Chains A and B, each alone.
Chain A
Amino acid sequence: MNALAAIGEALVLIGTFFYFLSALGLIRMPDVYNRMQTSTKSATLGSLGVMVGVGIWALGTDFGSAAWLTKSIVIAVFLLLTNPISAHALIRAAYKSGIPLWEGSVVDKYREHLEAKDKGEVEEAPAEEGDEE
């Protein structure tokens, strides 16, 4: 086992650990907002570890080439860009559909913001031309 394979395997081990933590947070946390918070962050980090690790690990094997590293970095960057977007859209939809917060939650900045906007205390962002809503 050469050095590249060892580095890649260490990265894959870290990524697998974070995948496991995200699944654990999905089970352990009390409501949907906490679950999204714990699982999305750690799953994104785990994806980075596993994919870059597989690319480096394949460079150290006899069948590996530079295309392995390139393709796995493409997948990792794509997941890094799209995972927060999908989590944001999901949790915004969950809030809009009226799922209550856990009873131990102490702060709800989004509700405060909406109430302040209803009273007109917050400056509305200027409506852009051609906004579909």
Chain B
Amino acid sequence: MIGINVYLVLIAIATLLSMYRVFRGPTTADRLVAVDIMTTITAGLMVLFALYYQRMIFLDVALVYAILAFGGVIAFARYMEGGL
């Protein structure tokens, strides 16, 4: 098999590609969708880092990060809809 370093680099490249849409996106909704995808990909990166460093506590970091990102995206969506 290929090894964990290659997966880490590939996921980091995917994060950078979505970062491009965050900077470039013509409308606010484009940037928000890109931020949503970027947080999902970053949660996966944190889970892989837990395996890389052999520390199970990093899985809790990924879980809390996913929860906070979900709340933030919902709050931004309500704000963009005009209901906040």
Instruction: Name the distance in Å between A47's Cβ and chain B's nearest Cβ.
Output: 6
**Residue A113, interface by CB 8 Å:** no
In the complex, what residue of chain A is closest to B3 when comparing beta carbons? Answer: A9
**Residue A116, interface by CB 8 Å:** no
Contact of B30 among A35, A51, A65 (CB under 8 A): A35
User: Chain A's interface: helix, strand, loop or mixed, by majority?
Assistant: helix
> What class of interface size applies to chain B in its complex with A?
35 or more
Interface members, chain B 51-84 (any A CB < 8 Å): 51, 54, 56, 59-60, 62-63, 66-67, 70, 73-74, 76-78, 80-82
B78: which A residues are within 8 A, CB to CB?
89, 93
User: Chain B's interface: helix, strand, loop or mixed, by majority?
Assistant: helix
CA distance A53 to B33 in the complex (A): 26
A99–B27 CB distance below 8 A:
yes
Contact of A94 among B1, B29, B54, B59 (CB under 8 A): B29
Interface members, chain A 35-58 (any B CB < 8 Å): 35-36, 39-40, 43-44, 46-47, 50-51, 54, 57-58
What total of chain A residues lie within 8 Å of the partner, measured CB to CB? 54
18 residue pairs of the A-B complex, CB under 8 angstroms, read: A10-B1, A12-B4, A19-B11, A19-B41, A19-B44, A23-B15, A32-B25, A36-B33, A40-B37, A46-B44, A63-B54, A68-B56, A68-B59, A72-B59, A82-B70, A83-B40, A86-B36, A94-B80
Residues of chain B at the chain A interface (Cβ within 8 Å): 1-2, 4, 7, 10-11, 13-15, 17-18, 20-21, 25, 27-30, 32-34, 36-37, 40-41, 43-44, 47-48, 50-51, 54, 56, 59-60, 62-63, 66-67, 70, 73-74, 76-78, 80-82
